Amino acid sequence: MAKIKYIEHNGKEHEVEVQNGLTVMEGAVQNDIPGIDADCGGSMSCATCHVYVKEDWYNKLPKKEMGEDDMLDQAYEPNSNSRLSCQIMVSDDLDGLSVYMPEKQV
């Protein structure tokens, strides 16, 4: 279980507890948190669950697997702190993680 903070582009914060084994994307969708569309349902095919993760946490997260950066090329305004939230698996180690939403997903 990890407490995760989802911060909308307008600054509105949503802090929820997400079970281990779910993805950060699923944590948002299951809790009706706006700003993460996840059109493809988590198959790394759409880049609509894009989030920014600040350096301190970005470096702690498991590294991106092949294909994630390719998908991120197609996201809205990606930068070097960008991740697809469907590819971040929740574990106890992620307790206290904050993710920032882009202005929009498409």
Partner 1 sequence: MIKTDVVIVGAGPTGLFCAHQLGIIGLKCEIVDNLDKIGGQCIELYPDKPIYDIPAVPECTGEELANNLLEQIKPFNFNFHLNDRVQELKKENDNWIVKTTNEKEFHAPNVVIAGGVGSFEPRKFPTKSAEKFDGTSVLYSIKDKSIFKDKSVAIFGGGDSALDWAIELSNTSKVSLIHRRDEFRGAPVNVQKIKELSEKKIINLFTKYSIKDVIGNGSLEEVEIKSEDGESKIIKADYVLGFFGLIMQLGPIAEWGLNLDKKTIPVNTENFETNKKGIFAIGDICSYPGKLKLILSGFHEGALAARGCFKYARPNEKYRFEFTTASNTIKDRLGVK
CA angle 34, 82, 9 (to 5 degrees): 35
Give Dmax (Cα) for the chain: 32
Nearer to partner 1, 17 or 70 (CB): 70
* Binding residue (CB under 8 A) for partner 1 from 74, 93, 95, 96: 74
DSSP 5-43: EEE-TTS-EEEEEE-TTSBHHHHHHHTT-TT---TTSSS
* Binding residue (CB under 8 A) for partner 1 from 13, 15, 17, 70: 70
Our finding on whether 39 is near partner 1 (CB under 8 A) is yes
Per-residue x/- track, 7-36, partner 1 (CB under 8 A): ------------------------------
